[in-house]
Chains A and B, each alone.
Chain A
Amino acid sequence: MNATTAVDRAAARGSDEAPPRRSRWLRRKPEDPGNDVIPIEMYGLKRGTTTFLTLVCALFAIFTLIPIAWVMINSTKTQANIFETFGFWFARPFSLFHNFSLLFQNVDGYGTYIQWMGNTALYALLGGGGATALAAFAGYGFARFSFRGSRILFYFVIAALLVPITAITLPLYLVYAKVHLINSIWGMVLPSMVSPVGVYLMRVYVEVSVPRELIDAARLDGAGELRIFFRLALPLMVPGLMTVLLLSIVGVWNNYFLPLIIFSQNRLYPLTVGLGLWAQRAQNSGNAELFPLVVIGGLVTIIPLIALFLVLQRYWRSGLLLGSIAN
């Protein structure tokens, strides 16, 4: 009980010293190879082994990049050329810009890509932002107050981590049918705001990064609880909030099952459902423009996501393991 936590240690160092800003899992820097790696000669390996293993890595890298390369190359082709020319090389005419312009048109009467992208961004921002806000409040409440029933409630929330997303989607649909949330953006946004894993992450984060003594000192100065939360605790929680925000946004962005069953009007579709619909129609209807549309649509969908992941590596790596459990 009451083990020496990072918080206690910070308090021991003196209250004027800056509290630890980041928890252990966020403080870990991206690994620095060469720093702690045992030289390969010590394993008795020959130089040739390195070359061979690098080649093996390169082969798997090719496997990894093949679909992305195919999409990039074929986004520059006409539908006829997608069918008739070799998939891994370019062909004339160069129709990238024409294909790109299709994203702004309602090509087959089933919807416009740019509208779906706007929907996805809207759902992701509202759902992700809401999830982060609720998790910040609840995580702080669970970490820094021990009201009656707080432990039971917290275990209850943790138990919800075990409920699979597939098992919750159909029940949501059944309830929506009763309360008229079918074909409502709130039917998509509101459940996305419920993130038990976010609450768990924020609670652990507050434990490590918001010292109790700081809160108590502010209370003695007469500050209200809300003021303490917004002015004192929240700034210390920012890196943890970023992780939860990123995980929730990606979760909403990738969600397919829920929007698939609750939206029947294509103007409400997110990208995942829209692209799935186009892929189906491209295969079945023979419309002249649909294949290039799916290809460039897929490309435009993944580019911002890959960029986001590469830029914000520091934040998602920390929540990776836990986030996966929630999905």
Chain B
Amino acid sequence: MSSTAIRATAARTARPRGPRQSAWIHRRDRRGLWFVIPFLVAFLLFMIAPLGYAIYTSLYTTRIIGGTTFSGAANYTATLQSADFWSGVVRVAIYAAFQIPIMLAIAFFFATIFDLGVAKWGTLFRTIFFVPFAVPAVVGAVMWSFLLEPQFGPFVHIANAVGVHNVDFFSSTLMLPSIVVIVIWEWTGYNMVILYTALKSVPRDVVEAAILDDTPLWKIILRVKLPMVRPAIVLLIFLNLIGALQLFTEPLILYYFQPQAISVNYTPAIYIYWTAIGDGEYNLAAAAAVVLGLVIVVISVGSLAFRRRRGELG
């Protein structure tokens, strides 16, 4: 999202006006509040109030004997010192370190092919690649669980047929790579469409000038086009990073198929889920949710600052 656009729209609202008009306009403009109020009420009740209540809850401790007492930062200390919480964070970091570069490389490769028009039936392929975006994550994860399932999953059969025996995609070593494959399947098309749109906006004459200079194609792609779509790539890196930190649905569905390979602290979101729903430790879970939310907000703000500093707005 572009912060320039936000500032531009905000600036446009404040129009210059003469003093004679101002009283009338002021009275008229105040009526605008009535258009905004329904949303604001819902916004306060279902977004701000829960967040406030979560922060409040996270400052207390509930014990079976003794009831609820104020405990200050104790839940935050417990979260930040919890090996369970951090092992989830480390796991999603490892996951992101593989998933994001691989997916963006694939997405950029195909976006370039479609942009150059060097493959046949580009429009058809683009539509096909995008289809998984329409599939809910739960259904996508269930479908892939069937495909990778150790007993009857066709991928194990195929592995056996080509001579690779005893593959277990749900073993604790292969579980994370399996999740990487599932998420790549779900999101490559979406990333590809955004990169394709960015590549399309590279001016044609820049490319033509490079061609006239006898620049080889790979150089045009890597030295001319890639730098010009870098804002889109930076944006996608941050979006995917935020998505990775919230990883929840895919591992939880896989947990249903193979409980041994997905621990209760597999990702931070799953840790929060089990701490709250499984163990009933709402205060601790609230603190963990606040910490995770803050980390993501910091990354989001960081991405905005990063893009602004580089002058890569948009």
Contact = CB atoms under 8 A, between A and B. Distances in A.
Interface string A293-327: 01100100110011011100000010011101100
A58 to B, nearest CB: 8
A97 interface: no
A33 B293 CA distance: 42
B23 interface: no
A86 B8 CA distance: 59
A165 B35 contact: no
Contact of A57 (B38, B113, B132): B113
Contacts, number: 322
A103 to B, nearest CB: 14
Contact of A65 (B8, B117, B128, B208): B128
Interface in B231-264: 235, 239, 242, 245-246, 248-249, 252-253, 256-257
A283 B15 contact: no
For chain A, the bracket of interface size reads: 35 or more
B310 interface: no
Interface stretch (A11-19, A107-115, A132-140): A132-140
Given A57-B113, A65-B128, A302 B135 contact: yes
B228 interface: no
Interface stretch (B67-75, B80-88, B93-101, B150-158): B150-158
Interface string A182-207: 00000000110110100110011001
Interface of B: 1, 5-6, 8-16, 28-36, 38-40, 42-43, 45-47, 49-51, 53-54, 57, 106, 110, 113-114, 116-123, 125, 127-140, 142-147, 151-154, 157, 185, 189-190, 193-194, 200, 204, 207-208, 211, 216-217, 220, 235, 239, 242, 245-246, 248-249, 252-253, 256-257, 269, 272-273, 276-277, 282, 285-286, 289-290, 292-293, 296-297, 300-301
Interface of A: 1-3, 5, 31, 33-34, 36-38, 40, 42-45, 49-50, 53-54, 56-58, 60-61, 63-68, 70-71, 74, 82-84, 86-88, 134-135, 137-138, 140-148, 150-151, 153-155, 157-158, 160-168, 170-175, 178, 190-191, 193-194, 196, 199-200, 203-204, 207, 219, 225, 229, 253-254, 256-257, 261, 271-273, 275-276, 279-280, 283, 294-295, 298, 301-302, 305-306, 308-310, 317, 320-322, 324-325
21 contacts: A37-B116, A57-B121, A65-B131, A137-B35, A143-B13, A145-B28, A146-B32, A147-B33, A153-B40, A166-B289, A167-B51, A167-B296, A170-B54, A172-B46, A204-B5, A254-B136, A257-B273, A298-B143, A302-B139, A308-B134, A309-B134
